[in-house]
Amino acid sequence: MFRLELMLTGAAELYPRRSLPDHPNPIGTLAKMAVSQFRSQRLRPSRSRHSLWPVGAGGRESGTIRTLGGASPQRRGMIRGERRTGTVDDVIKGTPLFSWIVAVGDELLSGHTADTNSAWLASRLSGTPYPCSRIVVIPDQIPLIVEELQAAVAGEAERVFCCGGLGPTPDDRTMAAVAEMLGVSLVGDPAVLARVRERVAQRFREGRAPSPEPNPGTLKMALIPKGAIVLRNPVGGAPPLAIPLPGGGAHRWLFVVPGVPAELQAVFQEEIAPIYLHGDGGRIYRELFFPGVAESTFFPVLTELEASYPQVSFGSYPQSDGVTIRVSAVEPEALDESFATLRRLAPAVPRD
């Protein structure tokens, strides 16, 4: 079932700078304007079963979990199913590059395991030219994994991280799903098999395995989609992969990584980030904390800032004793100027 979500995507698009602060009923006016805009939008289902993208809405960066809004030409092309490619230089030229995260696991959806991997990855990606614009959590079901990866191929993602489901048990189905999405078979990789055998033999010597020979489950971990690049796993046995996304040449990559946090983090830091995420163009973040102030008091200030600095992102985060305003941008000059304007327009004195 689709979930409709009414979202204020850029206050400057919802209403001009004029009337709202002086209007006798600003909340009612804002609600009417938002509902009117929502009804006037032509909604079209996205390639994900979990979201709808309003076509023609005001442009903002998409958020985690669901991709909403989307006025940029790049996102409108994504809705039409067009593919685009890009390089790190595109960040400087104004074409945004993005990463998607697909977290796989029934245990994540049931609440038995917290999805700490997605939060960790998103925080690391925020400082690269490929910040995260979408996080999806899906069960260990091959058709759903294939569907999400196909959406990534057709969509905006330059880097896609598929996390989890690489283990030795029957419910670990990610490799099979990736192979199906690519239209290739699973093949035994001699180098991976050698590492599997060595790990099992080592565990046997340490008294942690009943036999020096791999069982069917561990042998299963040596099967990878044909043509994939096998990356090194410094701390575990599951083979991480790097795969060029279809139609993207050498610019768009799918990374299949283990779900064990220690393994995922080691693979990201040692194998993926230095090679596939380097370059200039990462977002820069600055923030101010305003004690004893209600978040709503920043409504007119943030409205004006968003209208004046469309290339800068502003976020407000209420705390028990005040509110934090976070500002981020790719260009340092834009960040410095907007941050200074925030200080000047703020309704309270920040705690430095």
- Residue 351 backbone phi and psi in degrees, to 5: -95, 110
Which residue do the tokens 């989609």 mark? 225
Question: Which residues have CB under 8 Å from 286's CB, separation 6+?
Answer: 326, 327, 328, 335, 339
What tens digit of pLDDT does each residue of 112-147 get? 999 999 999 999 999 899 999 999 999 999 999 999
Any idea which fold 284-345 has? Alpha-Beta Plaits (3.30.70)
Do you know the residue count of the chain? 352
Tokens, residue 245: 């996304």
Average pLDDT of the residues in 237-254: 85
Three-state helix/strand/coil letters over 297-351? HHHHHHHHHHHHCCCCEEEEEEECCEEEEEEEECCHHHHHHHHHHHHHHCCCCCE
| DSSP 8-class letter at 21 | G
> Helix (H, G, I), strand (E, B), or coil: what is residue 239?
coil
pLDDT at 30 over 80: no
What tens digit of pLDDT does each residue of 300-340 get? 999 999 999 999 999 999 999 999 999 998 889 999 999 99
What tens digit of pLDDT does each residue of 74-84 get? 332 332 333 34
> Helix (H, G, I), strand (E, B), or coil: what is residue 252?
coil
What tens digit of pLDDT does each residue of 56-66 get? 222 333 333 33
Any idea which fold 83-276 has? Molybdenum Cofactor Biosythetic Enzyme; Chain A (3.40.980)
Task: Provide the CA 109 distance to its chain's centre, in angstroms.
Answer: 17
- Cα–Cα distance measured from residue 51 to residue 66, given in angstroms and rounded to the nearest whole number: 6
- Cα–Cα distance measured from residue 230 to residue 246, given in angstroms and rounded to the nearest whole number: 17
Longest dimension (CA), the chain: 79
Q: What are the structural domain ranges in the chain?
A: 83-276, 284-345
What tens digit of pLDDT does each residue of 186-245 get? 999 999 999 999 999 999 999 999 999 999 999 999 999 999 999 999 999 999 999 998
Residue 287: CB atoms within 10 A of its CB come to 14
- Residue 16 backbone phi and psi in degrees, to 5: -70, 175
- Which band of pLDDT confidence, cut at 50, 70 and 90, is reported for residue 153? confident
Higher pLDDT, 102 or 351: 102
